[in-house]
Structure 1
Amino acid sequence: MSNCRKIIHVDMDCFYAAVEMRDFPEYRGKPLAVGGSRQTRGVISTSNYEARKYGVRSAMPTQQALKLCPHLILVAGRMQVYKDISKQIRAIFQKYTDIIEPLSLDEAYLDVTDCKLYQGSATLIAEAIRDEIFRVTQLTASAGVAPIKFLAKVASDINKPNGQCVIPPEQVDEFLKTLPLRKIPGVGKVTEEKLLGMGLKTCADVQAYDRQTLLKRFGKFGEVIINRSFGCDDRAIVSHRERKSVGVETTLLQDIFTLEQCQSVLVELIDELKSRVERNAPDREIQKQVVKLKFSDFVQTTVEHQTDSINEPELKQLLEEAFERGYGKGIRLVGVSVGLHSTAQCESNVEMKQLGFNFNH
């Protein structure tokens, strides 16, 4: 493991909800969530800590959140305000390093290995960043400091809210021994249950387990689990992340039950998808198109097809295949997207075409 890097993961505390409580003091101390209204079938975007005591979480359907907390305050959210504050926070980061990898409006990795401020102490730099964020925005942030990315992210969650956790290089091995595998980014509920079924609960358990058995069971992600469990994460901080896809989806006010109804929704989404591709990726080549359906029981399915354009007849065929997987269940969400070639691949394709290669055969 490389132990010379100094990585900080900064994560704002319940960001959207915190902004609303800052701007509207009457919300403070009460369960609050930013998300879909009581009349629509949206999902919770962010909840404050009072709401989390009731089990309200991000990505939870609004109706489920209201069952858990009937007196939950719901606000629609003000995305432009959040974006403006995110720019303020980014400007603070840039005082300490140019190597910044935003994960969302409220979360980012920073590589401060070469920062000379505070005698090069990543711990003091993280404290200074959090202090300045609060001074400028009146919002709190938590931070994790570690020699590798995944541990910095794990650490930022340990002392939330408004806290900080540092894992020095010499303490990495000891920290990993008791780290639950569910803390590894990408290990969700299903994967955790599979691991527990194999008797694997902590990184120490994986360290002592047969490598080939894990690879056979989990494929490429098995490699990730093994590497993280041994403290291996050589991923660099990526300052520019290239868009991999463009998509649009809609959660319906009421379930629909026929293919014809789904097709009507799809046609509208295709028009919006074309506009979004034109706005957000006008110079990028399409490599596939994808249709997504979420059924009334919240199970979702996707069907994709390799293509170099948005093709409505083909999308309708994909929709039909996805619809059949529901076996008559209601549809609550319809989505459509395209996957994009990387910029490098696009340039290579242009060269190949100039040489006379035909990609349609």
Structure 2
Amino acid sequence: MQRTVIHVDMDAFYAAVEIRDNPALKGRPLIIGALPDERGVVATCSYEARKFGVRSAMNIKEAYRRCPRGIFMHPNREKYRRASARLHAIWSAYADATEYVALDEGYLDVSRSARRFGGARRVARLIKERTRIETGLTCSVGVGYSKTSAKLASEEKKPDGYFEILTPRDFIGLIVDRDITVLYGVGARTAEKLYHAGIYTVRDVQNNRDRLPALLGGKTGRHLAELSFGVDDRPVTPSDAADAKSVSREVTFQKDTSHFGYLRDVLLLLSLDLGGKLRALGLNGRTVTLKATYWNMKTVTRSRSGESVDQPYEIYQTGCALLAGIEKNPVRLIGVGLQNLSESSVRQLTFATLGGERERLNAERLRARLLDLQRRYRVDLRPALRDRTGELLYQLIDLMQTRALPTTPNGA
């Protein structure tokens, strides 16, 4: 199977979050980091500040010298983490595997999952649309055949851009006459060594590939030579090794909630979405996990193992049992997942029918829960359950929070 990787990179993330929350900052040179009278560096800055030559990691004194009329601000990392959690939830809905390299940047392996959504190009469009609609932020998205090509593609049309590099030939044609720093892993020190050896462009790297092991060391030199020809077999590896063996769904709420009846209803919808993911991947799992992040950013996880499950209602029941065992404090994020995965030999329940080839009793109970949820929240679930992107589902969860009644039946 041909690999397809998407790289998502938010546009001036910290600055964009601040501008979103304070529109008076729009169009102004905003610099996030230390203040001019402090020691420190620039964490990020708006594109208006970049016009003055301000860059990330620049000494703050130099940034002030270049842009004395800029607005300097300390970073609000808790706010950025909240925004990042929402972004990661959006991105992971489309991927077989996700690798987050920063709060605002990640790789998505969509080699199999893209087919469910109409191809990688449409996945990229959906990610950009949902990111803009649900967070008020913009991102640049690149589609490639490898991590290096996808990252380069996302950088081509910044900000708020889209680009694709689908073959090694396209990759080489784009970068062959560019500076060597365009290659992944070539930082200032490596570049200095190569410049000193008369190697300035990617073409120079190709023509001097036999010299690279002696200049940079065997492994690094060989890897750089491969990159110059568009070869990059690095997999998309989840940051947490446990994630590589799990599938999960989670949602960050617009407002913290202490309504555990509402949380059980959210678990029902997340379990349905998770069931769709499992069906697409042909997997089931033996361990159901619950994740909850409280108002103070404290995160708890609970898990329960047993026989392999793949049906939404089975996941939901176990999730509710785990939810009953955690502290009843205000919750900002809830998630449910499945670990210890294996290939499934049994067809799973479909979103369209919610019926028939697994235990009929579970299907009937699930249908009854959904009808009850529709009645209590005065919503029509069908569009959200048919929407394979998950976009309508998360919008529905937000709407339900505004309509949650003081009391709801036990969801387990």
Q: Which residue of 2 aligns with 1:221?
A: 220
Q: Which residue of 1 aligns with 2:334?
A: none
**Contact 2:29–2:48, Cα closer than 8 Å, also in 1:** yes
Q: Which residue of 2 aligns with 1:265?
A: none
CA distance in 1, matches of 2:15, 2:130: 20
Q: Which residue of 1 aligns with 2:205?
A: 206
The counterpart of 2:16, out of the listed 14, 18, 27, is: 18
Q: Which residue of 2 aligns with 1:184?
A: 183
Letter in 1 for 2:231: C
Q: Which residue of 1 aligns with 2:230?
A: 231
Any idea what the Cα deviations from partners look like across 1:292-343, whole Å, max 9, x if unmatched? xxxxxxxxxxxxxxxxxxxxxxxxxxxxxxxxxxxxxxxxxxxxxxxxxxxx
CA distance in 1, matches of 2:57, 2:239: 26
Cα drift, residue 81 of structure 1: 1.0
CA distance in 2, matches of 1:210, 1:98: 34
Cα drift, residue 35 of structure 1: 0.6
Cα drift, residue 217 of structure 1: 0.9
**Contact 1:117–1:125, Cα closer than 8 Å, also in 2:** no
**Contact 1:176–1:231, Cα closer than 8 Å, also in 2:** no
Any idea what the Cα deviations from partners look like across 1:251-283, whole Å, max 9, x if unmatched? xxxxxxxxxxxxxxxxxxxxxxxxxxxx9xxxx
Cα drift, residue 98 of structure 1: 4.0
The counterpart of 2:77, out of the listed 76, 79, 90, is: 79
**Contact 2:16–2:46, Cα closer than 8 Å, also in 1:** yes
- 1:157 and 2:155 matched: yes
Cα drift, residue 112 of structure 1: 0.4
The counterpart of 2:94, out of the listed 93, 96, 99, is: 96
The counterpart of 2:144, out of the listed 135, 146, 159, is: 146
Letter in 2 for 1:142: S
Cα drift, residue 210 of structure 1: 4.4
CA distance in 1, matches of 2:160, 2:110: 20
Cα drift, residue 173 of structure 1: 3.9
Cα drift, residue 28 of structure 1: 1.0
Any idea what the Cα deviations from partners look like across 1:94-153, whole Å, max 9, x if unmatched? 22114000001000000000012332x212211110111001011000011110111111
**Contact 1:32–1:47, Cα closer than 8 Å, also in 2:** yes
Q: Which residue of 2 aligns with 1:196?
A: 195
CA distance in 2, matches of 1:139, 1:171: 30
**Contact 2:64–2:70, Cα closer than 8 Å, also in 1:** yes
Letter in 1 for 2:51: K
- 1:6 and 2:12 matched: no
Cα drift, residue 176 of structure 1: 4.2
Cα drift, residue 184 of structure 1: 1.2
Cα drift, residue 154 of structure 1: 1.3
2:185 counterpart SS class? coil
Letter in 1 for 2:91: F
**Contact 1:33–1:44, Cα closer than 8 Å, also in 2:** yes
Give the TM-score of the pair, scaled to structure 2: 0.55
Structure 1 segment 33-182 matched on structure 2, within 5 A = 33-115=31-113, 116-119=115-118, 121-169=119-167, 171-182=170-181
1:157 counterpart SS class? helix
**Contact 2:172–2:228, Cα closer than 8 Å, also in 1:** no
Cα drift, residue 64 of structure 1: 1.4
Cα drift, residue 171 of structure 1: 2.3
CA distance in 2, matches of 1:200, 1:95: 42
**Contact 2:44–2:56, Cα closer than 8 Å, also in 1:** yes
1:131 counterpart SS class? helix
1:224 counterpart SS class? helix
Cα drift, residue 78 of structure 1: 1.2
CA distance in 2, matches of 1:100, 1:45: 24
Letter in 1 for 2:213: L
2:163 counterpart SS class? strand
Q: Which residue of 2 aligns with 1:352?
A: none
CA distance in 1, matches of 2:126, 2:214: 45
Q: Which residue of 1 aligns with 2:248?
A: none
Structure 1 residues 204 and 125: CA distance shift in structure 2, 3 A:
same
Cα drift, residue 57 of structure 1: 1.0
Cα drift, residue 82 of structure 1: 0.6
**Contact 2:42–2:58, Cα closer than 8 Å, also in 1:** yes
Structure 1 residues 198 and 96: CA distance shift in structure 2, 3 A:
same
Letter in 2 for 1:125: V
Alignment: residue pair count: 241
**Contact 2:96–2:111, Cα closer than 8 Å, also in 1:** no
Letter in 1 for 2:107: Y
Cα drift, residue 187 of structure 1: 1.3
Structure 1 segment 262-301 matched on structure 2, within 5 A = none
CA distance in 2, matches of 1:26, 1:16: 16
CA distance in 1, matches of 2:177, 2:77: 39
2:156 counterpart SS class? coil
CA distance in 2, matches of 1:226, 1:132: 38
